[in-house]
Amino acid sequence: MCFETLHRDPTSFARRGVLHTAHGDVQTPIFMPVGTAATVKAVSPRELHEMGAEVILGNTYHLNLRPGMEIMREAGGLHQFMGWDRAILTDSGGYQVFSLSKLRKMHPDGVEFQSHIDGSKLFLGPKEAMAIQAILGSDIAMAFDECTPYPATHEQALESLELTMRWAASCREQPRADGQLVFGICQGGVYQDLREQAVTEMAALDFDGIAVGGVSVGEPEKEMLEVLDWCAPGLPLEKPHYLMGVGTPRQLVAGVARGIDMFDCVLPTRLGRNGSAYTPTGTMPVKAGRYKADFRPIDEACGCYACQSFTRAYIRHLLNQNEILGLRLLTLHNLHFYLDTMREVRQHLEAGTFQAFHDHFMTVYPPAQARSEP
């Protein structure tokens, strides 16, 4: 078995586990930094090691365009190419079916894309996505799916789910790299019957893990959590559960309570590049004028390099001078904050105090549309 449950929270679906991969064990619940183009933006593999990252993401669609699979073969796979010796999960490109909807044409056996780089045509379907991921040699490959947009009618969501299930069955039969795990993805929009159908049918395909996709695509946080409430009872206990593209720290803790083991999101690196830092009570716009002469660290309780070495005033100065170090320091801090939040979650699950931690976190951390500035 690739997944073991070590502790369970008796009051929710939350659990503490370990995922065994070809490049080492991953302690769950875990946050996975996003490295779409074979790099986590502004951060080196060494820094990721030091902050405790155990698995990062790559993207099938983007890596297939650049540098291309010929280069990837010559490099010996994605791990060797980017100098990362821990686990890698690769998205199948299904999200690009959603995000690049103006540049693609749907077919029963895949999607015809117009490259966002040079306009050239390419085709990506279950066979192609799995073949690319085999060349990449990721520890976890994702089945090719259609990410259902929001809003969508019930009829549209059903059609999308049926297409995703056909593609999942095809992905299940494709060759994979040695030791590579493959996860299926549940779609179904914001409809309870379709989400429950997706979990049941995907579980029957017996992938190595199961993901909930098609959230964080524009729906309110309340609806996202409703989707997880519908999915949670049916997610197979012996498999790892992955919530794709989510989310804020509050959403991560809420997801853990609903049985999610793995998360990824671009928010910590994106907000860092845009001048904001995560804190235990929300985001802080470090670039704002109020921090011009603030000589405290971003978070006095944080152990990251930025907080241990620099002040808000200095980081704000770097940002206003367009110095790369400012973006790097905020990115390092934000990733550390996410990983540290997951470490704290695991500690509370081990100690049997997760529910109290969850309730407190939900009280002090603002919902997605709100902001608290220390």
Tens digit of each residue's pLDDT (9 = 90 or more) over 304-341: 999 999 999 999 999 999 999 999 999 999 999 999 99
Domain match, 233 and 317 both = no
pLDDT in tens, 134-170: 999 999 999 999 999 999 999 999 999 999 999 999 9
Percent pLDDT > 90 in the chain is 91
* Nearest residue to 99 (alpha-carbon basis) of 61, 153, 154: 61
Q: Would residue 210 count as lying in a domain?
A: yes
Distance of alpha carbon 126 from alpha carbon 281, whole angstroms: 42
Residues 23, 153 within the same domain? yes
Q: Is residue 125 part of a domain?
A: yes
88 and 207 share one domain:
yes
The answer to whether 281 and 310 are in contact (CB under 8 A) is no
In tens, the pLDDT along 338-374 reads 999 999 999 999 999 999 999 999 999 999 754 444 4
Determine the average pLDDT of the residues in 72-81.
98
Q: What is the CATH number of the domain that holds 153?
A: 3.20.20.105
Residue 42 DSSP class? T
Q: What is the pLDDT of residue 372?
A: 41
Q: Which two tokens stand for residue 51?
A: 């902050």
Residue 369 is predicted with a pLDDT of 59
Residue 322 is part of which domain span?
272-361
Separation CA 344–CA 340 (nearest Å): 6
Distances (CA, A) of 48 to 112, 216, 349: 35, 25, 24
Residue 369: inside a domain: no
Q: Are residues 249 and 342 in the same domain?
A: no
Residue 106 lies in a domain: yes
Asked if 254 and 285 sit in the same domain, the reply is no
Q: List active site positions.
A: 91, 264
pLDDT at residue 347, as a whole number: 98
The alpha-helical segments, DSSP class H, found in the chain are: 45-51, 60-65, 69-75, 78-82, 94-99, 126-136, 154-172, 192-204, 221-231, 249-257, 267-273, 305-309, 312-320, 324-351, 354-364
Assigned domain for 256 exists: yes
Domain end marker among 248, 265, 282: 265
Give the domain-ending residue among 265, 295, 318: 265
Q: Which of 21-35, 76-90, 94-108 has the lowest mean pLDDT?
A: 94-108
Q: Residue 95, exposed/middle/buried by CB under 10 A (0-12, 13-18, 19+)?
A: buried
Residues 254 and 279 in one domain: no
Q: In terms of domains, do 238 and 281 share one?
A: no
| Two structure tokens written together for 117 | 């780089």
> 30: closest CA among 242, 333, 263?
263
In a domain, 373, yes or no: no
Q: What is the CB neighbour count within 10 angstroms for residue 233? A: 11
Q: Is 218 buried (19+), middle (13-18) or exposed (0-12) by CB count in 10 A?
A: exposed
- Yes or no: say if 327 and 272 are a contact pair by the CB < 8 Å rule: yes
Is the same domain home to 184 and 232?
A: yes
Instruction: Indicate if 32 and 121 belong to the same structural domain.
Output: yes
Domain stops at, among 265, 299, 316: 265
Does 178 lie in the same domain as 281? no
Total domain count, the chain = 2
Instruction: Indicate if 214 and 330 belong to the same structural domain.
Output: no
Same domain, 185 and 69: yes
pLDDT in tens, 205-248: 999 999 999 999 999 999 999 999 999 999 999 999 999 999 99
Cα–Cα distance between 344 and 5 in angstroms, integer?
17
